[in-house]
């Protein structure tokens, strides 16, 4: 039986979920969506998984591109797991819509709440101590249900989110590729190219021993949080000024934006 999981992950939560599922399913390949989908067909796969975060009430642009370019077996058991913090929006509908153009459909879907890690906008929350045990528990529960090939309907976008989407999210989606405009390195940069290798969008090249961002960003934060010397700094994109300040105030978050990544996932895991 061929089992394959396609994964996008910036700060490791989704890759951790993919790994827990793969461990329970056994003999399962995890493909990072940095790869070219034409080389990773799922035409002969029996179990196909898509695991990624929710970004701007949808899935990351790179994940959309990847699934659109992928050949799948329409009769396979297909699952989707999205990691998120509060609003999954149309993430599952997007994947179902892309799959339906290929005659395929989601058999099982689940959203798993995780530590939110959009450090360019606001500090990570809720506290890791509280969330990590819950995340692990939910990932394992999800993995077991998938290994039993259970069916679970995909959650739709709520009425309110659908109404608010164009006003609240589309402005962010329009500038998403430019999130990297505020990224730069300080003197701690050792030119190790970790940032280049962990970027799921292949958005970074190393020039003269320093990273150069090419404005094809999804804002995943992988380069920032996995930099071994914490040399990558960032200016908050303008669009995030209001949101970031509001969330920091509302949730009484510390103003210092700590660099969270999932403790089970290291930079090497993301480089495959």
Kindly list the residues in this chain that would bind ligand FMN in the complex (CB under 6 A). Answer: 9-14, 53-57, 83-87, 89, 114, 116-118, 219-221, 262
Minimum CB distance to ligand FMN, residue 263 (Å): 11
Q: Which C-beta is closer to ligand FMN: that of 126 or that of 191?
A: 126
Residue 50 Cα to chain centre, angstroms: 11
Compute CA distances 13 → 124, 127, 196, 259, whole Å. 13, 14, 19, 14
Minimum CB distance to ligand FMN, residue 271 (Å): 15
Minimum CB distance to ligand FMN, residue 44 (Å): 27
Q: Which C-beta is closer to ligand FMN: that of 191 or that of 233?
A: 233
Q: Which C-beta is closer to ligand FMN: that of 18 or that of 104?
A: 18
Minimum CB distance to ligand FMN, residue 114 (Å): 4
**Both structure tokens of 44:** 């002969």
Q: Which C-beta is closer to ligand FMN: that of 85 or that of 106?
A: 85
Residue 37 Cα to chain centre, angstroms: 17
DSSP 154-192: PPPPPHHHHHHHHHHTHHHHHHGGGGGGGEEE-TT----
């Amino acid at each position: 039986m061929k089992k394959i999981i396609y994964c996008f992950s910036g700060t490791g939560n989704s890759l951790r979920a993919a790994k827990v599922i793969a461990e329970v399913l056994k003999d399962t390949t995890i493909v990072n969506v940095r790869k070219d989908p034409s080389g990773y067909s799922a035409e002969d796969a029996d179990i196909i998984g898509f695991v990624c975060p929710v970004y701007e009430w949808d899935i990351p642009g790179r994940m959309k591109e990847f699934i659109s370019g992928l050949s799948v077996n329409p009769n396979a058991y297909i699952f989707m797991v999205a990691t998120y913090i509060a609003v999954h929006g149309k993430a599952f509908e997007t994947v179902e819509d892309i799959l339906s153009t290929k005659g395929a459909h989601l058999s099982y879907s689940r959203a798993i709440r995780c530590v939110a890690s959009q450090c360019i906008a606001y500090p990570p929350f809720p506290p890791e101590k509280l969330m990590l045990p819950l995340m692990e528990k939910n990932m394992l529960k999800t993995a077991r249900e998938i290994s039993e090939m259970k069916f679970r309907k995909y959650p739709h976008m709520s009425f309110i989110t659908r109404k608010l989407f164009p006003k609240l999210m589309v402005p962010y989606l329009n500038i998403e590729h430019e999130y990297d405009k505020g990224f730069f390195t300080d003197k701690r940069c050792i030119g190790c190219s970790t940032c280049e290798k962990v970027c799921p969008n292949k958005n970074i090249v190393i020039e003269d021993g320093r990273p150069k961002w090419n404005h094809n960003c999804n804002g995943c934060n992988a380069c920032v949080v996995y930099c071994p010397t914490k040399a990558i700094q960032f200016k908050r994109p303008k669009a995030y000024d209001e949101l970031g300040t509001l969330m920091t105030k509302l949730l009484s978050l510390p103003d210092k934006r700590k660099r969270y990544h999932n403790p089970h996932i290291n930079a090497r895991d993301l480089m495959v």
